[in-house]
Amino acid sequence: MGCNSSSSTKAQSPAQETNPPVLVEPHIQEKALTQLKLIFESIDGNDDGSVDKTELSTALGRDANLGALIKEAGFNDKYNVLNLLDTDKDGYVSWHEFQSHLKGEAIKEVLHDGSVAAAELPASEKVLQQLRAIFDSIDANADGAVSQSELSAKLKSDTDEHGLMKDGSFGKLVDEAGLNPNFRAFDKLDTNGDNVITWIEFEAHLRKAASEEVKEEGYIAAAFGLDDSAKAAPGDEHQKNNIADALDDDPVKNPMCGCL
């Protein structure tokens, strides 16, 4: 008899929320890196793959979020940020240097806010640029507006044999924007009903979905191959010279050496 009351009350754990984020999901890391890359590319004004002092100070002056990101990552010197980020002291910040210093802070921001604050401006610029390239590609007669037949032609080419929008297509983007690409898409995109889709109408409907793609993947899939201004790196003369130098250094064969 006695103490038969084996109390079945479970131990309560009131402080479960204090678990530190030890393991960061790969998806979060990728998103943070994608957004850092958007930031880096927007700083690298001449697209040569590295950031110099002028580029960095221009970018810092343009967006306070960039300074905040760098500061939060522990680089506090207001005047010598480049030196702090320039690990190998060659006078430039490479992508490798940039991401190795800022990745931790970027991951933190993605975990907390869903995205990196300093990536907002670069992402929205990229969205506009790429969305415009998509718009222009649909506007086959280049009159600055998309007609019903131009839209139909595009959506038709985006449709697979099952009637679904192909992955990475414009039709898919329309779908992601909450508009059914197979049902009255033109009427919905043509907000004012004047029978043409202007750039303003186009952008207003698609910008949000496009922005999510850019912050997730770094680009709008439907713009792939349309706008490669960012990818055509004009700076590979340097690389060519390196290759030429390497070839020049090729030791000349000396026939006198072939002693038998």
Q: Which residues contact Ca ion by CB under 5 A?
A: 44, 46, 48, 86, 88, 90, 92, 94, 190, 192, 194
Shortest gap between Cβ of 178 and Ca ion (angstroms)? 19
201/216 Cα distance (integer angstroms): 24
- Beta pairing partners, 159: 165
Least Cβ distance, residue 120 to Ca ion (angstroms): 22
Q: How far apart are CA 218 and CA 225, in angstroms?
A: 14
| Nearer Cβ to Ca ion (94/147) | 94
- At residue 187, what is the residue type? D
Burial class of residue 81 in the structure, from the number of CB atoms within 10 Å of its CB (0-12 exposed, 13-18 middle, 19+ buried): buried
Q: How far is the CB of 45 from Ca ion (least distance, A)?
A: 6
Q: Which is nearer to Ca ion, 151 or 209 (CB)?
A: 151
Nearer to Ca ion, 46 or 58 (CB): 46
The residue among 42 and 94 lying less far from Ca ion, judged by its C-beta, is 94
Burial of 113 (0-12, 13-18, 19+ CB in 10 A): exposed
Largest CA distance in the chain: 108
76 in Cβ contact with 134 (< 8 Å) = no
Nearer to Ca ion, 89 or 240 (CB): 89
Smallest gap from Cβ 146 to Ca ion, in A, equals 9
3-state secondary structure (DSSP) of residue 249: coil
Min CB(235)–Ca ion separation in Å: 8
Nearer to Ca ion, 109 or 201 (CB): 201
Q: How far is the CB of 251 from Ca ion (least distance, A)?
A: 32
69 burial (CB, 10 Å; 0-12 / 13-18 / 19+) is buried
Of 78, 71, 234, 202, nearest in space to 132 by CA: 202
Q: How far is the CB of 195 from Ca ion (least distance, A)?
A: 7
Q: How many helices (H) and strands (E) does the chain have?
A: 11, 4
Q: Which is nearer to Ca ion, 203 or 212 (CB)?
A: 203
**Six-digit token string for 216:** 């997730």
Q: What angle do CA 160, 166, 170 make, to 5 degrees?
A: 120
